[in-house]
Structure 1
Amino acid sequence: MSEQLIRAVLIALLAALFALPVGYFVAPWMGWAIFCAGLGLQMVFHFRNFTRLDQWSKAPVVDSSLEGEGAWDGIFGRLYRHEKDLRNQIAVRDEEISRVIAAVQALTDGVVSLDLNNQIVFCNTTAEAQLGLVLRVDQGQPIVNLVRQPEFVAYLDAEDFSRPLTLRSERSEDRVLSIYVIPYAGNRRLMQIKDVTQTDRLDRMRRDFVANVSHELRTPLTVLAGFLETLQEIELDREERDRYLTMMAEQSKRMESIVQDLLTLSSIESAPPPANEVVDMANLIDKLRRDAEALSAGRHRVVVETEGHSDLRGSEPELVSAFGNLVANAVRYTPAGGTVSISWKTSPQGAEFAVQDTGIGIDAKHIPRLTERFYRVDRGRSRDAGGTGLGLAIVKHSLNRHQAQLNIRSTPGVGSRFACSFPASRVAGA
């Protein structure tokens, strides 16, 4: 028997013990009245506490003042402790959920949670940017109503998620997304969105590179094969044979230059960070001047300008290769009678090596792609000038390894300026 029931029985017995003598010796009705009054007081006591409990249950709060009298004090105490523990558990759960949401929001991949009907349950900010979603507005909306590209809709309808979907974003054609759909929690789907734009660009560059290498080598090989076949099958006089051999030697030298530049580019890309040795810029500038004059053979005016006497820190072979390519290009693409200027300037902010010419110039639309491998503004003119199409790619990679930047300014028919800007940390004695 519970404590509360025992209390109620004891109070009823006390009321009866008091009411019996009064009813027997005074008047029966008076005894009954006293007995009923005792039971009534007990009912009022319990009803009062029950009313407090009913009001609290409609808006339960953790209230230390929630107390009762008698047996009700234990009930209210247990309710208080239960509500307090429950709220602590909810607070811990909410904190854990907040941590999970914060972690999902910090992901560089987009994440979208879908129900079985492909309606949006949740998405992180990365997915909002990738797919053009706004969670507070689009939550509960079918995702196919918001991302309407046919290949995406077909992918979800097919429900074959063994392979990811590669999707070009309709918001930006340059962006490529890889979408994985992972079923979880019975009737939910987790959509993971990776931005593979850089990987796609690298794959495209690799394919272009292989195609360009094949094309660049096939041309001289075709010429060599044709001349060899001619020499083997046709009797030629000495003068004609010597002319053919000279042309074959030129094509052979061209292939050698391409292979050498490819090896140079490969060694730069795979090499460890450049050394921190001091490069004597005065000697290097003088060497570049002499090389330019030798390549020009008196057809151009070569000018050297220097400001400051600081040297560079880095790999001398890489810097010689980069600067030499810029000087050689300036000579090749400047008509006879033009000027090629080589300058070296230092300041507290860093240093700049620049080559300026009065050559044919470059249209602005070509400048962003000049450092791509085998990219040429005019293929025929480049071959005639003796270029391999890899010079500026070598320059770019060499400068990147020295934390430097290549800045290009050019005006068609006026000339071009190629400037290599180095940070102060690369200037000896800065």
Structure 2
Amino acid sequence: MNVIWARAIASLLVIALVALGLGALIKPIVAMAFVVVALGVQIVFNTFHTQRLWQLLDAPVYGEVPSAPGIWGEIYYRLHKLAKRWHSQVRQVEQQHQRFIQAIQASPYGVVMLDDHNQIEWSNGIAESHFGLDAKRDLRQHITHLVRQPEFVRYLNTQRYDEDLHMRGMGENRQNVIAVQAFPYGDNRKLILTQDITELERTDSMRRDFVANVSHELKTPLTVLSGFLETMRELPLSEGDRARYLDIMAQQAARMQVIVNDLLVLAKLEGDAKPPVEHMIDMPNMLRHLHDDALGLSGDKHTIDMQADPGLTVVGAENELMSALGNLVSNAVRYTPEGGKITIKWRDVGDGAMFSVTDTGIGIPPEHIPRLTERFYRVDRSRSRDTGGTGLGLAIVKHVLQRHDAILQVKSEEGRGSEFSVRFPAARTVRNQAIAAKAV
């Protein structure tokens, strides 16, 4: 017997005992009247609380549970406990749902959920950026009414989702390349995932260009070598012609050797994850070498000035920095016409040190400046080849400077000259009086 039946029977027994007592002490009619009144009060009390319970269940409000004596108090208490437990479970589900949404929002992938009519049910911020959507404004809109590129509409309608679709010119940045793939789920619903692969596409394009450029750069000297070897083997030549042909062949072989050496240096720099050896560099000595090399390469055809702070130096790998800074100086000499001026500066800039090479050369068009450090990238192929460059120098410079936490900055005006600056951070800059005294 449960508590409800026990309390009901106990209540009836109390009424019966009181009625028997009244009948024995007073009159049976009084006992009968008491029984009728007591039962009436119970009926009214139960009917009232039944109505309250009905209203509560019909329009429940969490936390609004009435109080009452007896069995109805127990019922309301248990109902409150049940509602509290259900509310806690609902809150847990809501929190899990919120964490799930936050995780998708933090994902680097765009996510769009479509219903069985390809209408947008939900999308995260990345997808909004990729497709140019607004999650609130475009809710329940057909996605092909918003993303109208023919290739996307075709992809969605063909229902062949094994491979992704690459699209250009969407969303906020119309230069980006977006990979889109659909995944069916549920009742004809679709999950659309997007990813910005602009950098991957650029890297792949650079790889293809690199292979093509290496092949092209090596093909020319190999063709020259093969031609002269065939000529020397099949035709009678005078000693003068033979010597001239051998000189040309030696030049082409040397050119290939320079290209191969630069490729090996670049491969080593790219594959070496270890930081450079931390040695204090004798910058005055390095600058003297750079100045002497510039004078030798110029052959007195340019005015070359140098302004250097003798007590300022950096820590790093001397051979790497000599190669990188030497590349900048030699480029300035190569691309400055005869009679031009080249200025080499080494100075303190407050939050670090700066090495700069300024020339009055041919300059660089602004659209080419962002790509100067790509391997084999040339502003003018014929002009670069005439100056003896391999197209790898600035790529080597970039990797050396990255290893030394330095930044390369380029300012140029076509026809008026260029300035290549290397800024070293304060953490790598040292002021050394011993080196300054030695320089003096």
Is this a same-fold pair by TM over 0.5? yes
Residue matched to 1:240: 241
Distance across 2 between alignment mates of 1:54 and 1:15: 33
CA distance in 2 between counterparts of 1:412 and 1:169 reads: 31
Letter in 2 for 1:103: A
Using the TM superposition, give the Cα deviation of residue 145 of structure 1 relative to its aligned residue in structure 2, in angstroms. Answer: 2.4
CA root-mean-square deviation? 2.8
The residue correspondences of 1:101-250 to structure 2 (distance < 5 A) are 101-171=101-171, 172-185=173-186, 188-250=189-251
Q: How far apart, in 1, do the equivalents of 2:238 and 2:304 lie?
A: 43
1:3 Cα deviation after fit: 4.1
* 1:219-256 deviation per Cα after TM superposition (whole angstroms, max 9, x unaligned): 11112222222222222323233322222222222111
Aligned-partner Cα distance in 1 for 2:368–2:64 = 77
Counterpart contact for 1:66–1:80, Cα < 8 Å: no
- C-alpha contact (below 8 Å) 1:15/1:39 kept by paired residues: no
Could you tell me which residue of structure 1 aligns to residue 252 of structure 2? Answer: 251
> What SS does the corresponding residue of 1:179 show, helix, strand or coil?
strand
CA pair 9-304 structure 1, distance change in 2 beyond 3 A: same
Percent identity (aligned): 46
Find the aligned partners of 1:353 and 1:62 in 2 and give their Cα distance: 71
| Aligned residue in 2 for 1:74 | 74
DSSP 3-state at the match of 1:137? coil
Contact kept in structure 1, 2:182 and 2:190, CA below 8 Å = yes
- Residues 4-403 of structure 1 mapped to structure 2, 5 A cutoff: 6=9, 10=13, 37-63=37-63, 66-171=66-171, 172-185=173-186, 188-271=189-272, 272-307=274-309, 309-403=311-405
Q: CA-to-partner distance for each residue in 1:370-410, whole Å, 9 max, x for gaps?
A: 22211212211111111111111111111121111111122
1:228–1:186 Cα change, 3 Å: same
Query: In the TM superposition, what is the alpha-carbon distance from 1:123 to its structure 2 partner?
Result: 1.9
Q: What displacement does 1:146 show?
A: 2.1
Match of 1:416 in 2: 418
Measure, in 1, the Cα distance between the counterparts of 2:138 and 2:411: 47
Give, in angstroms, the shift of residue 346 of structure 1. Answer: 1.8
Contact 1:220 1:252 in 2 (8 A): yes
Quote how far apart the aligned CAs of 1:164 are: 2.6
Check whether the contact 2:311–2:431 (CA below 8 A) recurs between aligned residues: no
Report how far residue 201 of structure 1 moved: 0.9
**Counterparts of 1:25 and 1:147, CA distance in 2:** 90
| Residues 1:182 and 1:65: Cα distance change in structure 2 (over 3 Å) | closer
> Does structure 2 retain, via aligned residues, the 8 Å contact 1:309–1:346?
no
Q: State the Cα distance separating 1:321 from its structure 2 match.
A: 0.7
Alpha-carbon separation, structure 2, partners of 1:428 and 1:103: 46
Q: Is the 8 A contact 1:308 1:346 kept in 2?
A: no
Secondary structure (helix, strand or coil) at the match of 1:138 reads coil
Letter in 2 for 1:6: I
Tell me if structure 2 keeps the 8 A contact 1:61–1:83.
Answer: no
The answer for unaligned runs of 5 or more in structure 1 is: none
- Stretch of structure 1 that moved more, 418-427 or 180-189: 180-189
- Alignment correspondent of 2:437: none
Q: How far, CA to CA, are the matches of 2:155 and 2:16 in structure 1?
A: 79
Q: Which runs of 5+ in 2 are unaligned?
A: 433-440
Contact 1:299/1:336, CA 8 A, preserved across alignment: yes
Q: Could you tell me how far 1:17 is from its partner in structure 2? A: 6.2
CA spacing shift, 1:84–1:412, aligned 2, 3 Å: closer
User: For residue 239 of structure 2, what is the amino acid of its counterpart?
Assistant: R
The question of whether the paired residues in 2 share the 8 Å contact of 1:19 and 1:35 is answered with no
Q: Residue 242 and residue 173 in structure 1: after superposition, are their counterparts in 2 closer, same or farther (change >3 A)?
A: farther
1:178, 1:193 within 8 Å by CA — same for their partners in 2?
Answer: yes
Aligned-residue offset at 1:68: 2.1
* CA spacing shift, 1:332–1:8, aligned 2, 3 Å: same
1:420 CA displacement: 0.8
Q: TM-score, normalised by structure 2?
A: 0.88
Contact 2:290 2:326 in 1 (8 A): yes
Change beyond 3 A, Cα 1:57–1:306: same
- SS of 1:324's equivalent in the other structure is helix
Deviations along 1:58-91, one digit per CA (max 9) or x if unpaired, are: 3323447622233222221211111111111112
Distance 1:350 1:380 in 2: 38
SS at match of 2:56: helix
State how many pairs are aligned: 427
- The answer on whether the counterparts of 2:16 and 2:35 sit within 8 Å (CA) in structure 1 is no
> Aligned partners of 2:414, 2:77: CA distance in 1, in Å?
89
Is residue 284–residue 310 contact of structure 2 (8 Å, CA) maintained in 1? no
SS in 1 for 2:345: strand
Measured in 2, the distance between the counterparts of 1:320 and 1:89 equals 67
* CA separation of 1:7 and 1:428: change in aligned 2, threshold 3 A: same
* Alpha-carbon displacement from aligned partner over 1:250-309 (angstroms, at most 9, x marks no partner): 222211111111111111111222121111100000001111111112222221111351
- Give 2:338's aligned amino acid: A
